[in-house]
Amino acid sequence: MEIIIQPTPEEATGVAARIIARLLAEKPDAVLGLATGSTPVLLYRELIAMDLDWSHVTTFNLDEYIGIPREHPQSYHSFMTDNLFRHINISPSHIHIPDGNATDIPASCADYEKRIAAAGGIDLQILGIGTDGHIGFNEPTSSLASRTRIKTLTRQTRIDNARFFGSEEDVPHHVVTMGIGTIMEARQNLLLAFGPGKARAIAEAVEGPVTSLNPASVLQMHPTVKVCLDEPAASQLSRADYYRWVYESKPGWQTF
């Protein structure tokens, strides 16, 4: 894992945006895995401002709620349209988001996996992290080998996401999410976390044991993971000075 600690969310986002811009410059038809939540909003704003060419890019989103219409303002379909897709030149046929309204959700999950494989796999997966360490909507105790499927949200995640819905009761109980096994097959993972509320989850994920109790900790087993943090999110890392030193000592050709 490469831990990149920056003073502010804006600076940490800048590093992440440059990593993605470099990938798109090297591989204009890259396959990107996209995330939702408040964390990547800044990143999408930054990518829009960079005016990149998305015409050959394919995207796969991590997750979607079950039981709210696509047009609902808090569906991840709406989130992605509002925060990214309507501002870039991506082809609608290249956009993939799990379908929380499919009549046969298990079949549509299996189809999602097939579509990822048919696209050649995900080159770079963007990730946020829940306060309980979830990635996508893979809650603690999710199988570390799981594939795209239905999950039930924890009480904590529903409380965390109530701010988007107005009240906890309005947050759906069920979701479709890429599995941890699916995420682990991405060629690169790029995790962003900001704020003191993420500090414990990040410390456990980066420095704790690999355990399904903190699903993000499985990323320790992935060969190419970058973790972009602001100082508050990094505040419980015991080796923060080492990570800073490694980043500052990078040769010029390796910097972002």
Q: Which residues are catalytically annotated?
A: 63, 132, 134, 139
154 lies in the site for ligand GLP, by CB under 6 A: no
65 lies in the site for ligand GLP, by CB under 6 A: no
Asked if 126 and 32 touch (Cβ cutoff 8 Å), the reply is yes
38 lies in the site for ligand GLP, by CB under 6 A: yes
Instruction: Choose the stretch contacting ligand GLP; rule: CB under 6 A; options: 113-121, 125-133, 224-232, 240-248.
Output: 125-133
Asked if 134 and 63 touch (Cβ cutoff 8 Å), the reply is no
Bridge pairing between strands 2-6 and 58-61: unpaired
User: Shortest gap between Cβ of 137 and ligand GLP (angstroms)?
Assistant: 5
User: Shortest gap between Cβ of 12 and ligand GLP (angstroms)?
Assistant: 13
| Smaller CB separation from ligand GLP, 25 or 159 | 159
Q: Rounded to an integer, what is the distance from CA 220 to the centroid of its chain? A: 16
Q: Rounded to an integer, what is the distance from CA 42 to the centroid of its chain? A: 13
DSSP sequence for 78-93: HHHHHHTGGGS---GG
Bridge pairing between strands 95-96 and 58-61: parallel
217 lies in the site for ligand GLP, by CB under 6 A: no
SS3 100: coil
130 lies in the site for ligand GLP, by CB under 6 A: yes
Judged by CB under 6 A, the chain residues 156 through 185 that form the site for ligand GLP are 157, 161
126 lies in the site for ligand GLP, by CB under 6 A: no
136 lies in the site for ligand GLP, by CB under 6 A: yes
The CA distance from 204 to 23, in Å, is 29
Residues in contact with ligand GLP by CB under 6 A are: 35-39, 62-63, 128-130, 136-137, 157, 161
